[in-house]
Structure 1
Amino acid sequence: MTNTRAFAPASIGNVSLGFDVLGAALAPIDNSLLGDWVEVKDADAFSLTQDGQFAHKLPPSVDENIVTRSYEFFQAALLDANKTQLSVSMHLHKNLPIGSGLGSSASSIVAAFYALNEHAAKRDGHAPFGKDQLLAMMGELEGQISGSIHYDNVAPSYLGGLTLMTGETSPIAVNLPTFDNWYWVACYSGLSVSTAKARALLPKEYSLADTLTFGRQLAVFVNSLYAKDESLAAKMMQDVIAEKHRKVLLPEFDNARAFSESQGALSFGISGSGPTVFAATRTLESAQAIEAWLKQHYIQNQDGFSHVCKIDTAGTRLLNADQ
């Protein structure tokens, strides 16, 4: 029996200054897998099983599960491309909490599409879909769930690294340079925030001043990455689009920022729609101090957790059966 297991890392959407156009994949420094994995096996008929820390938070009906929807989407794409459909069963290991701001739905979708594409490659000798084709399908399905297509979680989870969305069909996203010495603290409070609800808090129109600031910050930030100017890059990491409207959903947000900055954080912000927050620092000592405070003051219940991370440069990858 042929089986294929794929892991897709968690991600920070927006990275404060890049609303809907920047994303970063995360890799905890303790080498734990922060993300979901999906396994595909040859089978006579489709079925889906699931386990993992947050599997009990998934919809009770398998038909409503996003991995099932990924399978159906992939099968339809094979049919449209005049390619042979798959006969498989699937398993989801749900390690990311739903509505966490860590790209939970994106992680499941990306792992599912990647595993299906690689499984088909084992059968046919080549993958049926290329990188941009697969990413476009991931983005479309993610958009059906969140209400609009945006790649700031699926792209970094799939490609790894810090990604910038181009607005083009090819390439959909490009990787940007990063500062290898930066640590990224990610803390999930244990609460759940709906992406659709968080987007509904945003104004329909923005002032010319905010629009110009957004564009300037993004341009200077990207230039600073290529120029290896850490200080200027960090200075640009301010959210003028979403943070002031969304932070009302995040208890202790302002206090968390104040403490993080007192410990030398280069940046502090909301990961995606929240409630996960992140801090970027230059030193491990600073990151550990911030993580300790967030564990004590920002986490609201037993579901919450935090990790000191680096940027995950590998993106989605295949796992061995024992991983």
Structure 2
Amino acid sequence: MNYAQQQMAHARPPHHRPPRRRPGRKILAVLLVLVLALAGFLIYVDYSLKREPALPTSGERPADGPGTNWLLVGSDSREGLDADRQAELGTGDTAGRRTDTVMLVHIPQAGGKPTMVSLPRDSYVSIPGHGKDKLNSAFAYGGPQLLTQTVEASTGVRVDHYAEVGLGGFADMTDAIGGVDVCVEEPMKDPKANLDLQAGCQQLDGPQALGYVRTRASSRGDLDRVQRQREFLAALTERASSPEVFLNPLRLFPLILDTSGAFLVDTEDHVWHLAGLAFAMNGIASGQGVTTTVPMSGFGETSDGASVVKWDQDKAETLFGALANDTEVPAEVIVTGM
């Protein structure tokens, strides 16, 4: 072996560099998995929504204006509730579903203050095809579509989206966020609603909250109730968007699942539409919005002796005109304390 061969034999083997690590690829892969998981979760939640045609498909409708308008309905639907749950919630045993709550929510196009208007269920309005009657009778006559058509005809505001929640869904959402704090000015007792509250600030669970927003056992009946409903809805939204719930997966995910299972929406509505509504409701809850009851001129009676609420037509026209045109609601038509 010559010298050159000896040198080659003792030469160190070539050094192979280890493969270069690419942390960017791992991060990208993790992000991709998270995005797919989130997309799958949203698809599941969207699929869980109950749907039913709720917007009119025939007849004259108000013109489509700027902004977005929601019709929010709380019904006394007992769907999915067994006898024990009905007894716990004090739902009674009336068949079918009727409206306990009717609200119109306007979300401005340019991001201004949203407006939430309570429409008393005893409002005396014209129901297409049925003459003058209470607003909640529209729901009994023709379900969500006739109710929406009646609201549009009475207000001149075109409804873009519809959301309805039944008795069990309302209680479940309240329980999912760990209850809602309210302050009761005087003791409230209503055996029909399984309600027995002492005066003072306290936290209500699902069954208590349901009784609180449904009872009419007060001096002003339905007018007191619509005020409590607006106040409670604002408190529920504020609680749901609080860090204690929003940043706690053990609270947030049950809330999302309970909400998706509780809502009935129009066939064209999706979970991302509800997210926009939730954002607007959070603004209202934080004081960055307007809440009111439709202005009223007094009370009356139907031909069969039923008590009804009459709107102040001039002020109501001004209020709903502002919503239809996406302009600021004049202070003189905002009704507080009702």
In the superposition, the TM-score normalised over structure 1's length comes to 0.22
> Larger radius of gyration, structure 1 or 2?
2
Of Structure 1 and Structure 2, the greater helix share is in 2
Comparing both chains, which one has the higher relative contact order based on Cα–Cα distances under 8 Å and sequence gaps of 6 or more? 1
In the superposition, the TM-score normalised over structure 2's length comes to 0.22
